[in-house]
Homo-oligomer: A and B are copies of this chain.
């Protein structure tokens, strides 16, 4: 039965990270808990909701943790309550001690808590991830790839595979991320500096978005990919997510390569105009705006019979090709433009009924977004 003394605010940071994997409600009650393991090397915390798992480790050698281990052992404590207790402790140091009846005595200053624990044996065994097929890369590279695609995943559970981001490695170095909800798509790629075996996986967009909140102080992470799991690892933190099962749709042939109309806008000017045009339609039943492109002018229209209508002539940088009138869901366009941020944006169209693309106008890169138009009339 363990006994350990350590710095409460340092411990709290690890505890809060681990807690991100713990669900408030779960069909497996022990998973509302956090497993605490005290060994000769330090303290390991484990949290899991069966879909994702987080392990954090505080090393005995980490001076800031001020760890003093008196006895080894392990226990499970209800995660949320444990974190509440630790965050409210009065003194810098605190002591945890597992008693005979699995109660945990937590003391700091004159405050003394006795919390009912659960035998650590009851914690499920997490699937292990082997360290072969590993990629080491800057955390920024992967979090940006996720940020630029995750918004386009499906939020509907009817096709679970579309709730994921499809990650594929080709030519041993090009990492491509694709997300689509079947109405719009976002694709971005980056290049690894070391050669890695090609792979193709799909990981929950929601789980991937957590990465940036879990690895906040890290510069590099290692990524391990196995049959059913992906693991992200850096000093002291390991984050696992299940892979999504099923075949991801073949998306590359959806993106047209030849176009009949091309318009270049300042991204933020187009964004604001689309926001205005959608103010009325988003209140009505039919959230659609219409773009009318001719060689001389580009106009945008929004309309909601119950509320009113709006039109605006847009500033543009250039127009090439055929005249075109096309309608689309403004929410997709707004999300796409926000992902590009500032700069000039190129819209390329085939016809009023074919998906159109958005790309950066000033640079040739791999970032492309696709929006399916809405057929009106």
Q: Which A residues are within 8 Å of any B CB, using their own CB?
A: 78, 81, 84-85, 88-90, 103-104, 110-116, 272-273, 275-276, 279-280, 283, 306-314
Contacts and interface: CB of A to CB of B under 8 A. Distances in A.
A81 B113 contact: no
Given A111-B276, A114-B308, 9 more contacts: A81-B279, A81-B307, A88-B276, A111-B310, A111-B312, A112-B312, A113-B280, A113-B308, A115-B307
Contacts of A272: 88, 90
Contact of A81 (B85, B110, B116, B283): B283
B279 A114 contact: no
The 3 A-B residue pairs whose C-beta atoms are closest, nearest first, are A115-B308, A111-B312, A110-B313
Nearest to A310: B113
B307 A116 contact: yes
Contacts of A307: 78, 81, 115-116
Contacts of A313: 110
Contact of A113 (B89, B275, B309): B309
A306 B90 contact: no
Contacts of A84: 279
A88 B279 contact: yes
A114 B313 CA distance: 15
B276 A90 contact: yes
Contacts of A113: 276, 279-280, 308-310
A306 B88 contact: no
Given A90-B272, A272-B88, A311 B112 contact: yes
